[in-house]
């Protein structure tokens, strides 16, 4: 038995082993510093170097233009559900358009309603969030303050393959569960936010990437912590940031650059991994019933049901016996969910694929 499982948790989620080994080796003292990374001031030279490297890595990997700010915040993506409209929905004559493709988009819109006018530009709830809207189905307001999407719905496993066309209205994207899984054209976005604990690091850090001109919308009357401009002006050091999270983000982005070779390569690997599992679903369509419509399938969260809850439970416990863990679907949806983020090794997905084939051939 290995001491480490293949852990398909939806988040907090598996991290590259080499990252964990680096954290371990430096835990008592950062080389040359004489203290652990979790013991040093966020304003100290060694920490500013780490935070600077984390931001530089992100800018390089994601090709973030200079007219975008990168913020390191706390509070998770759910605090962004409120901060986005508190900062961007400040013109009382405008409302915000929400394209709701799953549970997280729905939660985001419910917080936005508390802050200002909200329109549902599309809502997939009547088909249980199994699919994405066609362009012709979107009811967009060309005068909206912003359009909000969830690039990957972690619970349902539906993912946009390309950004919807929203004209000149700033596109705001919750990329919590697929940030950095492939190259994207940042210029198409007004603001991208992502909690780190799925594809970027540990829980407790949230990255916000936003066009600097949008900072002008933030009013001085906002609570200090909730004002994007406060954080942008202070380079995310208005107060003590989540220093450990920023350090791990630096290591994860080092890994993406040095070991994976960038986001094109990461994308190839992610497509390969997802295809291995979807092929099994397609080979046993009555036994493994995929949740997402085929053309909306997520590369990150593979969601399906077995013919009965008993078989789902049996699947989960047989998988666990082979050190394939955390495969239970979200409590609101049930069934099975295999989260295969960037850091899930190809070997882990191969092992799961073989297990799934074997289980189906015995039980189907």
Ligand X SMILES: Cc1ncc(COP(=O)(O)O)c(C=O)c1O
Size of the site for its own copies (CB under 8 A): 65
Query: Does residue 18 interact with its own copies by CB under 8 A?
Result: no
The whole-angstrom separation of Cα 146 and Cα 96 is 5
Q: Work out whether 76 is an interface residue with ligand X (CB under 6 A).
A: yes
C-alpha–C-alpha distance, residues 261 and 327, integer Å: 29
Interface residue with its own copies among 96, 145, 195, 251 (CB under 8 A) is 195
Contacts with 102 (C-beta within 8 Å, 6 or more apart), sequence order: 124, 129, 150, 153, 154, 155, 156, 158
Interface with Mg ion, residue 334, by CB under 5 A: no
**Binder of Mg ion out of 235, 254, 314, 354 (CB under 5 A):** 235
CB of 91 to its own copies, least distance (A): 19
330 is a site residue for ligand X (CB under 6 A): no
Q: How far is the CB of 71 from its own copies (least distance, A)?
A: 13
CA–CA gap between residue 57 and residue 252 (Å, rounded): 9
**C-alpha closest to that of 146 among 169, 162, 123, 130:** 169
Q: What radius of gyration, in Å, describes the C-alpha atoms of the chain?
A: 21
Among left, alpha and beta (phi > 0; psi -120 to 50; other), residue 23 is alpha
Q: Which is nearer to ligand X, 76 or 334 (CB)?
A: 76
String marking each residue 220-249 x if it binds ligand X according to CB under 6 A: -------------------xx---------
HEC readout, 50-61:
HHHHHHHHHHHH
Window contacting its own copies (CB under 8 A); options: 41-49, 155-163, 282-290, 301-309: 41-49
Closer residue to ligand X in complex, CB, 176/303: 176
Task: Give yes or no for a contact between 169 and 144, defined as CB atoms under 8 angstroms apart.
Answer: yes
Catalytic residues: 104, 174, 198
Q: Quick one: what does residue 116 bind among Mg ion, its own copies, ligand X, none, with the CB cut-off 5 to 8 Å set by partner type?
A: Mg ion
Place of tokens 């949008």: 214
DSSP, collapsed to helix, strand or coil, labels residue 255 as helix
Residues in contact with its own copies by CB under 8 A are: 2-5, 7, 9-15, 17, 20-21, 23-24, 27-29, 34-36, 38-42, 44, 74-79, 81-82, 86, 111, 114-115, 195, 197, 202-205, 221-226, 238-245, 248, 323, 325-326
Under the rule (CB under 5 A), what is the footprint of Mg ion? 115-116, 235
């Amino acid at each position: 038995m290995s001491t480490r499982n293949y852990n398909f948790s939806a988040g907090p989620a598996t991290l590259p082993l080499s990252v964990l080994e680096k954290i371990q080796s430096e835990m008592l003292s950062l080389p040359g510093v004489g203290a652990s990374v979790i013991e040093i001031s966020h304003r100290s030279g060694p920490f500013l170097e780490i935070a600077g490297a984390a931001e530089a890595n992100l800018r390089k990997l994601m090709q973030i233009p200079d007219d975008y700010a990168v913020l390191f915040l706390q509070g998770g993506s759910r605090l962004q559900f409120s901060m986005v409209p508190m900062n961007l929905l400040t013109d009382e004559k405008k409302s915000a358009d929400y394209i709701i493709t799953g549970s997280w988009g729905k939660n985001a819109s419910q917080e936005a309603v508390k802050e200002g006018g909200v329109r549902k530009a599309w809502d997939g709830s009547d088909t249980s969030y199994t699919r994405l809207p066609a362009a012709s189905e979107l009811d967009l307001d060309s005068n909206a303050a912003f359009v909000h999407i969830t690039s990957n719905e972690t619970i349902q496993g539906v993912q946009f393959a390309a950004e919807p066309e929203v004209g000149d209205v700033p596109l705001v994207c919750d990329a919590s569960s697929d940030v950095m899984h492939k190259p994207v054209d940042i210029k198409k976005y007004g603001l991208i936010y992502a909690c780190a604990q799925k594809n970027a690091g540990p829980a407790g850090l949230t990255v916000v990437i936003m066009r600097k001109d949008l900072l002008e919308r933030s009013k001085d009357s906002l609570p200090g912590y909730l004002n994007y401009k406060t954080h942008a002006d202070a380079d995310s050091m208005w107060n003590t940031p989540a220093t450990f999270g920023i350090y791990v983000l630096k290591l994860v982005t080092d890994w993406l650059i040095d070991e994976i070779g960038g986001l094109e390569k990461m994308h190839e690997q992610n497509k390969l991994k997802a295809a291995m599992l979807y092929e099994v679903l397609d080979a046993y369509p009555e036994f493994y019933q995929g949740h997402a419509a085929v053309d909306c399938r997520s590369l990150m969260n593979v969601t399906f049901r077995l013919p009965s809850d008993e078989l789902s439970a049996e699947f989960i416990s047989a998988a666990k016996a082979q050190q394939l863990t955390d495969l239970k679907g979200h409590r609101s949806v049930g069934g099975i969910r295999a989260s295969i983020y960037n850091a899930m090794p190809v070997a882990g997905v191969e092992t799961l694929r073989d297990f799934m084939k074997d289980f189906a051939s015995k039980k189907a």
